[in-house]
Amino acid sequence: MNAARVMAIFEKDLKEFTKNTTILFTPFITIILAIIYSRMETGDGLPLIVVYAIVGITYASVTSGVMMILMAEENEKKTLRGLIMSPASYVEILLGKSLVTALMTFITLIISFIIMESTNMIDIQQIIGLLVLFFFFLFLGIAVGLFVKSVGMTTVYLMPIMFIFGFTSMIEFLGFSPDSIVIKITDYMPIPQLVAMGETESWSAIGIVLIWTIVAGLLAFVCFQKVKKDRA
């Protein structure tokens, strides 16, 4: 792996980040919601399900959303072909383009946790879970960003990611029966698994989230290979 190539991609995306107001203000959505949710605190701390709602919103809007925009922008400006056909490998491109996204994501999360006083997230098990979950949303963003033809189209795909994966921890508040097929399906989705992990301290939840992450990573790789083949 060539560190110089990785840093060159990172520096290019960092410049794009400072120029793109949509990307620049994306983290503020989460921070504002964290402030609102912090008002719900009753003295015993916020419920884990609420904390993970903020995590889901952050990962969906910042991690997946920003990565989608960065990749789609390359596609729209016709620079994606040059990037893919460059000497940089898939891993180098992945690392270079994810550094800005990772930086934004974890700064946003840290600020949100401080606002919500979520000290229960400072735990090795929770940190590992959050890292695995980050890569799941990152790979989703890469896959969609490689697929779409313009930045405008990312919104069409961001909303399903937001509601299907970002808000799943809040599904139980929609009035579904505990025996409902909807609840049974969503229980195996990434964020509800990590909520259950926080309540039971079971490590099996990370294994399930890791499976989701591997599937998303394979999807991103397939999309990358397809784009590379189409532009060869």
Domain locations in the chain as residue ranges? 3-230
Query: pLDDT for 181-211, tens place per residue?
Result: 877 888 888 998 998 888 888 888 999 999 9
The confidence score (pLDDT) of residue 149 equals 75
What's the DSSP call for residue 1? -
What's the DSSP call for residue 212? H
What's 94-155 look like in SS3? HHHHHHHHHHHHHHHHHHHHHHHCCHHHCCHHHHHHHHHHHHHHHHHHHHHHHHCCCHHHHH
Structure pTM? 0.88
Half-sphere exposure of 220 (CA within 13 A, CB side): 24
The overall longest dimension of the chain from CA atoms, in Å, is: 60
Q: How confident is the model at residue 120 (pLDDT cuts 50, 70, 90)?
A: low
CB 139 within 8 A of CB 220: yes
Q: Name the nearest CA neighbour of 165 among 70, 61, 23, 44.
A: 61
Task: Average the pLDDT over 84-107 and give the result.
Answer: 80
CA atoms of 165 and 186, how far apart (whole Å): 9
Q: How confident is the model at residue 232 (pLDDT cuts 50, 70, 90)?
A: low
One-letter amino acid of 125: Q
Q: How far out from the chain centre does Cα 220 lie?
A: 13
Query: pLDDT for 18-38, tens place per residue?
Result: 777 777 788 888 889 888 888
Q: How confident is the model at residue 138 (pLDDT cuts 50, 70, 90)?
A: very high
pLDDT, averaged across the chain: 82
The confidence score (pLDDT) of residue 63 equals 92
CA atoms of 160 and 24, how far apart (whole Å): 22
Query: pLDDT for 50-80, tens place per residue?
Result: 888 889 999 998 999 888 888 888 777 777 6
Q: How confident is the model at residue 44 (pLDDT cuts 50, 70, 90)?
A: low
Q: How confident is the model at residue 215 (pLDDT cuts 50, 70, 90)?
A: very high
The confidence score (pLDDT) of residue 230 equals 64
